[in-house]
């Protein structure tokens, strides 16, 4: 499994990046599906390509899971470390850097959600 980051240039509407997950050992197959319009799960990328924006793989995290994908999305800081953006004010995060505090917060949110749904 792999978490990957696509960089959209120039930004499409307000979207500069797309963070995705694939069960594959690398993002290569999924990224080529994205770029060829074959992966149906992502209208954003298809719309950006159709509008003439360039989309490329900025970074991939082999071995990273869905929790890491969620964590990366919650951080909302891709621009500060994306190699394609070149801002480089933060290091590229690693799957090992998810904090216990984050896990506890997520578990609490999940419990609250289930409480409401019941």
Q: Which is nearer to Zn ion, 88 or 97 (CB)?
A: 88
Quote the CA–CA distance of 104 and 23 in Å, as a whole number. Answer: 25
Q: Which residue is nearest to Zn ion (CB)?
A: 82
Element (H, E) at 10: strand 2-12
Quote the CA–CA distance of 84 and 44 in Å, as a whole number. Answer: 19
Q: How far is the CB of 105 from Zn ion (least distance, A)?
A: 27
Q: Which is nearer to Zn ion, 87 or 107 (CB)?
A: 87
Q: How far is the CB of 6 from Zn ion (least distance, A)?
A: 9
Q: Which is nearer to Zn ion, 26 or 80 (CB)?
A: 80
Binding residues vs Zn ion (CB under 5 A):
7, 82, 84-85
Cβ-based burial of 39 (10 A; exposed 0-12, middle 13-18, buried ≥19): middle
15: its two tokens: 């979207």
Q: How far is the CB of 37 from Zn ion (least distance, A)?
A: 21
């Amino acid at each position: 499994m792999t978490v990957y980051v696509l960089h959209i240039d120039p930004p499409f509407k307000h979207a500069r990046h797309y963070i995705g997950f694939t069960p594959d050992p690398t993002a290569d197959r999924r990224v080529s599906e994205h770029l060829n319009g074959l992966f149906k799960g992502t209208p954003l990328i298809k719309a950006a390509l159709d509008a003439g924006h360039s989309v490329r793989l900025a970074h991939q995290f082999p071995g990273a899971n869905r929790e890491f994908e969620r964590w990366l999305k919650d951080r909302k800081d891709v621009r500060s470390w994306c190699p394609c953006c070149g801002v480089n004010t933060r290091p590229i995060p690693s799957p090992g850097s998810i904090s216990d505090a984050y896990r506890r917060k997520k578990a609490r949110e999940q419990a609250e959600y289930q409480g409401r749904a019941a």
